[in-house]
Structure 1
Amino acid sequence: MSTHPNTKARTWLDKLPSLPEDPTHPTQIAIRTYSLALALSLGPSLLPIITALLSSKRNLHRTLKALKKVLRRELGFDGFAFAATFAIWGGTILGKWWNAEEFHLNNYSGQYSPLKHVFLTFSSRLSDYQRSYISYVLSSAIGFRLLLAGRRRSERLRASSSTLPIPYTPPTSTPAAIWGKASPTLDLTLLLLVRALDVLVQSIIRRQCGETASEDPEAKRTIGENELLERFEEKAAVEEEKKRRINSLTTKIDAFAFWASSARIMWCWFYEPQRLPQSYVKWIGALAGVDKRLLRTLRHVRDGTWSYVNGSKLHPTLLTTYAKDLGYPASWGDPGTLPASGLDATRTWKELGVVGRDGIGGLPCELVHGGEGQALGLASSCTANSGIRGAKAFVEALLIYLPQLTDVFRLIFYQYS
């Protein structure tokens, strides 16, 4: 009698439906898409919260409140994960329904309604590629509407109360009333636009480079088998070399597009962050860990209101408070005291107590590094600063993309198993 409950439990578990083994099944597609999209959206959102929990400066109640909002935003039906899953899963389901409905109507011998007749006529004029395209356009439109609703709701909540501070973003120089408010999904639009242009350029390259001259079929009848085999091997070698060149070219195009877009994004983040989507500014700032006063100084140097030669009448104490917060003398951040370059720089550095900058002007490296390596006595080392920041950035990026790597390894294992 003691084994009866376990038997009932096993019987109940056996009745549960199992996941289909076909990787193209809509259920498998939905699970993979949701897990990957959730890793993309929830991972970066949890990173500052985890950092706040590990820090003693954050109030626990406030951090948990922020965690609740993040989970509500990302796990809701209007979150990125659900919207992306619906767009891809919905397109797959719609395409399968379309094919099944057309097959049923083609093999149906009875009378059907005029609406189904129009559907069958329209469907018969489309290729499989066109049907798939229409299916995914319809599902993606609904997914974008869900995502847009979620972004707008997040903006309303952010405007009412901010739970986690975001990196400093100066007010835009152009009034919003003139240019209008940017779309909440601008970041996703830019991503899809760049990828679409990349696919278009690569398809053009492959189509142009893949064209081959037509071969006369009569030539095969007038040559021997050995010569025909040699021609076949030569043609295969040419095709293989052509494919290698195409792959090399498309890879270089990918690398160039990534480099160019990254360079432009980082330039805007330093000097004109109002031109970027707010999410770009937020996450780059969270990963960079640069003090907002240092960024403001860079922008003032660019517009000429902060100078090592003429000082700064408008912002004389911008970096003095920054230097004091790092534990250095306020004079290290005074633009009226800092040298530009030359022999005067060596003399000034001796007066200020800065070592290792003979003949070099500008801001002391200790302030530029923002205190990185200060606990190890390496605050003035540029090499140590780059190494520490590089290691921290690598670990943070690894934490963000770790769920995606597990999905990739799982797919590779499934393919070879």
Structure 2
Amino acid sequence: MAASTTLSSRRRWDSGIAPILQPLVRAYLFGYAYAIGPRLLTLLLQHAARYRRRNKQTTTTHEPQTKTQQIQSDESFLAALRRIFLAPLDKQSFPTFCAALIGGTTILELPLRSLFERHAGSTPAILRRRLSRWVASFIAAWMSLRLLQSKQTPSFTEVTPSEPGQDEEPQTVEYAGRTLDLTLFAFTRALDVVVGELWHRRRTRRVAAGKWTALERAVSRFADPAVFALSSGLVMWTWFYHPPRLPRAYNKWISSAAAVDSRLIEALRRCRQRTLLYGRDTGQADLLGGMCADYGWPAAWGDPARSVPFPCEMVHMGCGPSCEWHALSRFARSFRWAMTSYLPLSLLLALRSGGGRTRNPKTTRQAALLTTLRRITLSASRSSAFLAAFITLFYYGVCLARTRIGPHILSKTTAARQTIDGGLCVGAGCVLCGWSILLENAGRRKDMALFVAPRALATLFPRRYALEKQWRETVVFAVSTAVVMTCFREKPGRVRGMMGGVLGSVFRE
């Protein structure tokens, strides 16, 4: 009785809306929350940080902020807050896209099913139902993506000035690609649905025939970690050598997590570009020479003409010559850094879901709270250990290639050292780092593999491309979305991870 009362109260807010329009409204609200959530959290954190700095400055200098300064600060905060809440209300925004996609899918399905019943009466009913759902989703996906693509943004628009002495007006050139991440997200989800369904059918047949092998069990178990390892390795390689191919926010977050001196990254990039050559004076000594001065190392370490290669201690950035000690130190520092993010986030999610409540009268509220805090801490620690291991394995992979294993396989000649620092050491780190996902539980592995895969694919495509080729992206998105939507309506469990949960909350009856 209590469970049914809770469920009914949770659905009460949209009970007055026509059932066919309820998915549309839910989708719009989800899109709106998704659009403002991260920006709102960032603004609040920035405002809190400024408030703490202001109080600290007042305490230190004993000079309180003037009333005019306080008013200006409050007005800027309120203006930013107003922009965050009003920007998603635009007709070409993400919430409108979500509403058009979900609403179009549900509204178009009924007339399309009637049409197929009139003109394909001999076709089995289940095929007519699936076909009507697929076509409805395809049309809705096409139109909703076109809605997003129609919005002009400065980063995808260039104004070509007229040549001197000509009276022609400047030409505006528009580029496509602003929805590429969304398209690749839909494509990877559709691929996951199709491959998962085919593998499930194979497994069912093989198990029934008693032919399910240990190799096939291993493939089922390690498929998600392998996808994550391959995808994250590609992202890290791109971050190291082709950072403009990554979104700015993604690039900034990886740089913050890596906590590495940019001069060291630039030195390895120049090794790959062969502008920094070992054993030759190519004018690159100043780059790492500045690091040597800052860290108190011999100046010769930073000169590629004299130091072949530069010592691995420079990669450790002050942790000493031992690669293993650097790995342990890096893990500890990264774990502390990750906990500052994961622990508050886990507490916030627990409060949102009502953590700490208990239905068992024999369990005191204090005991339930302690159990919840223990679970939250364990979850945050596990996720922090994963991220710390990811960072550690990347750095230790670099050390393995440069010092521990690489020189013993390729030799210690100048040419071999150039090859190692010209990409092999970074490649070793990229190969190793993603396997830290094995520290996470199976559910998180699945979600994280599906999260990173589209971002890895995006590194293989230009961020901007010619507008006349945009129809290809639209077709890929529409077909992929139609596959995911149709599969979810027929087999909800086949759409894995958070996407399955989101669609379940949107389409619930």
* Residue aligning to 1:129: 130
Alignment of 1:81-230 (within 5 A): 81-96=95-110, 98=112, 102=114, 121-122=118-119, 124=121, 127-150=128-151, 152-153=152-153, 155=155, 183-211=177-205
| Letter paired with 1:257 | V
| Letter paired with 2:200 | R
CA distance in 2, matches of 1:203, 1:145: 30
Identical-residue share of aligned pairs (%): 22
What do the CA deviations read for 1:34-70 (whole angstroms, capped 9, x no partner)? 43x456554554565555442669x968887766665
Q: Secondary structure at the match of 1:363?
A: helix
- Considering only CA atoms, is the larger Rg found in Structure 1 or Structure 2? 1
Residue 365 (structure 1) aligned with residue 316 (structure 2): yes
CA distance in 1, matches of 2:291, 2:44: 26
| Letter paired with 1:185 | T
2:222 alignment partner, one of 237, 248, 252: 252
Report how far residue 391 of structure 1 moved: 3.9
CA distance in 2, matches of 1:332, 1:46: 47
Structure 2 unaligned residues grouped into runs of 5+: 1-11, 55-71, 160-173, 356-500
| Aligned partners of 2:279 and 2:304 also within 8 Å | no
Q: 1:279 to 1:157 in 2, by over 3 A?
A: farther
Q: Secondary structure at the match of 1:306?
A: coil
Compute the TM-score of the two structures, normalised by the length of structure 2: 0.45
| Aligned partners of 1:202 and 1:250 also within 8 Å | no
Residue 20 (structure 1) aligned with residue 20 (structure 2): no
* Residue aligning to 1:261: 231
* Residue aligning to 2:358: none
Instruction: Pick the structure with more helix per residue.
Output: 2
CA distance in 1, matches of 2:158, 2:256: 17
| Aligned partners of 2:104 and 2:140 also within 8 Å | yes
CA-atom RMSD in angstroms: 5.3
Q: 1:275 to 1:30 in 2, by over 3 A?
A: same
Report how far residue 286 of structure 1 moved: 5.7
Q: 1:85 to 1:285 in 2, by over 3 A?
A: farther
Alignment of 1:388-407 (within 5 A): 388-393=333-338, 395-396=340-341
Q: 1:131 to 1:260 in 2, by over 3 A?
A: same
| Letter paired with 1:386 | F
* Residue aligning to 2:328: 383
CA distance in 2, matches of 1:268, 1:140: 30
Alignment of 1:283-302 (within 5 A): 283-285=253-255, 288=258, 292-302=262-272
* Residue aligning to 1:376: none
What do the CA deviations read for 1:188-239 (whole angstroms, capped 9, x no partner)? 2222222222222222222333348xxxxxxxxxxxxxxxxxxxxxxxx958
Q: 1:238 to 1:188 in 2, by over 3 A?
A: same
Q: Secondary structure at the match of 2:314?
A: coil
CA distance in 1, matches of 2:184, 2:98: 16
Compute the TM-score of the two structures, normalised by the length of structure 1: 0.53
Farther-moved stretch of structure 1 (249-258 vs 128-137): 249-258
CA distance in 2, matches of 1:312, 1:367: 27
| Aligned partners of 1:48 and 1:286 also within 8 Å | no
Q: 1:364 to 1:250 in 2, by over 3 A?
A: closer
Q: 1:304 to 1:142 in 2, by over 3 A?
A: same
CA distance in 2, matches of 1:401, 1:25: 35
Report how far residue 284 of structure 1 moved: 3.8
| Letter paired with 1:336 | D
| Aligned partners of 1:79 and 1:147 also within 8 Å | yes
Q: 1:72 to 1:200 in 2, by over 3 A?
A: same
| Letter paired with 2:268 | L
The higher relative CO (CA closer than 8 Å, separation ≥ 6) is in 2
| Letter paired with 1:204 | L
* Residue aligning to 2:303: 336
| Letter paired with 1:153 | T
CA distance in 2, matches of 1:337, 1:408: 57
Q: Secondary structure at the match of 1:200?
A: helix
CA distance in 2, matches of 1:368, 1:299: 23
* Residue aligning to 1:271: 241
What do the CA deviations read for 1:337-386 (whole angstroms, capped 9, x no partner)? 898479xx9xxxxxxxxxxxxxx5451533799xxxxxxxxxx9653433
| Aligned partners of 2:25 and 2:99 also within 8 Å | yes
Residue 31 (structure 1) aligned with residue 26 (structure 2): yes
